[in-house]
Amino acid sequence: AAPPGPPVYVDLAYLPGSWSARTVDEEFFRRIRSLCYVVSGDDHLKEGVLRSLLDALLAGKHQWGTDIQVTLIPTFDSLVMHEWYQETHDRQQELGITVLGSNSTVAMQDETFPACKVEF
């Protein structure tokens, strides 16, 4: 358990991938309060814990007691993400959570990849 203390406020937080994604729980989102959370790491390990990570965001954000808007930025396409988005859309709106979807691509040096622009 983490020692008691005030939450930490940041503009952008990258959520851990691979095995470390298992450490992201409701307490993480109560303590690390970010305007934007980036969910990266399109790998089979994260896919296995993605739903619990996303549900932890909802539960943790509910504890904030403020009207801070939060943006969730997935960097990969996922069936789990789509299902969670559909099933919890009303809850996301109540809590002020926006999920960015992007169909944009960027081409650089003979490579094309999905991208989105985030401005502060």
**Separation CA 41–CA 59 (nearest Å):** 22
What is the full per-residue pLDDT of the chain (120 aa) written as tens digits?
Answer: 556 778 999 999 998 876 677 788 999 999 999 999 998 766 665 667 888 999 999 999 999 987 899 999 888 778 888 899 999 999 999 999 999 876 667 788 888 776 666 666
Question: Whose structure tokens read 């954000």?
Answer: 61
For 100, phi and psi rounded to 5 degrees?
Answer: -85, 130
pLDDT for residue 60: 95
pLDDT for residue 27: 92
- What are the boundaries of each domain within the chain? 8-114
Q: How many CB atoms lie within 10 A of CB 63?
A: 13
